[in-house]
Structures are given as C-alpha cells and as structure tokens.
Amino acid sequence: MIAALGIVIAGSAAAQGISRPVATDAGDGRPFAIVDKRTATLSVYSAEGQLIGRTSALLGLTPGDAEIAGSRGKAPSALTTLERTTPAGRFEAQPGHNLHGERIVWIDYDANLAIHRLRPAPAHERRPQRLVSANPQDHRITLGCVVVDPEFFERVVLSTLGSGRGGLVYILPERDPMVAAASGTTPHAAAP
C-alpha cells in the first residue's frame, strides 16, 4: 500500500475539521485518487494501491485548503473569487452527472465539487494551454472542481472512480503542513 494512505493533515486544517484518511481506508476495497494541489496533478490508484494514471489538473482559482464559509450551496455563477477554492481533505467520490447530463465524479455533491473533463470555456481563460503548462500556478482557474484532459477522464477517471461504488479522493493541502506516518513509524513532515 502506498504511503499516501497514511497522510494526516496537521495544523489549522485539522483544527478546522477537514476530513483525513482513516485506518479503515487501507482495507476499504475501493480505488482512490490523490489531488496534489502543489504540483497541480491528479493520480488515480486501483483498490490495491497500484498507480493507474497521473495527469495535470486545473484547480480552484484561489489557493486555500478550506471551503470558504457561506459558499456551500451557491450557484457557481454567484461564487466570488475568494470562494473559488479546491478544499483539502478526504472525500467519498460518487459517479454521477452534471446539469447537462455529462458524466462526472462527484467529490462533494453538496458543495458542487467534482472531477470532470475539460469543457469549452471562454477563450480568454486559456484552459487548454493552462492544463499543459509546466507552472502549477497556471493551473488555477476553476470554480473549485478538478478538471483533467478529456481522454484521461474517459480512460482513467471514469473507468476507475466512475463506476460501481465510487472511491475515495484525497486532496492534499497546499498551505497547511502534512505529516506522513506509516504504521508503527514516527511521523515526519512531508516535503513542500
């Protein structure tokens, strides 16, 4: 099993009640994904912990690790710039559809947070160019969703997390420290 299942979010994220991996996750029997906001990547794993695929991802416009109070339930068009975050934490992912009938993987249905394919957007947002940029800061543009290349979404995300009983999605914090510890070892700070 990979070390990511032993990640514990420390500092203010833990104090804010952000969900984190629990002991039963390792034997859960579901596939999982890890969103690393510092590198703007999405990694998808089988239930056995084998990496299936990794790709760059677009993330919420505003850096931050917590959902902004008052943003839950707002229409996407009503979100302010500061509310456009991709919150850190542990999420129960479920396959579903958006309002247009497109297949997506819900990370948090009530917060309108999902993993989905790159869709047409205003040209000035340059989303296709941002998705392939080597600079993680260029990947900041979404309302909070995790957006990936359409081919990767179909081939990896939907085939792994988009069927059956879904899976788990861990969104790593970008500001709060992470403490990683394998069973029976001393926790150590993760690299920034």
How many DSSP H helices and E strands does the chain contain?
4, 13
pTM (2 d.p.): 0.79
Beta-ladder partners of 51: 45
d(CA 121, CA 137): 19
**Cα(64)–Cα(77) distance, integer angstroms:** 20
Mean pLDDT computed over 43-61: 94
Residue 188 binned pLDDT confidence (cut-offs 50, 70, 90)? very low
26-40 pLDDT, tens digit each: 667 899 999 999 999
Secondary structure (3-state) at 32? strand
**pLDDT at 7 (0 to 100):** 40
pLDDT at 156 exceeding the cut of 70 = yes
The CATH number that applies at residue 80 is 2.40.440.10
Q: How far apart are CA 178 and CA 189, in angstroms?
A: 6
pLDDT in tens, 106-119: 998 888 899 999 99
Under the banding of pLDDT at 50, 70 and 90, the label for residue 148 is very high
Query: What total of structural domains would you count in the chain?
Result: 1
Of all residues in the chain, the percent with pLDDT exceeding 70 is 75
Q: Which domain holds residue 50?
A: 3-189
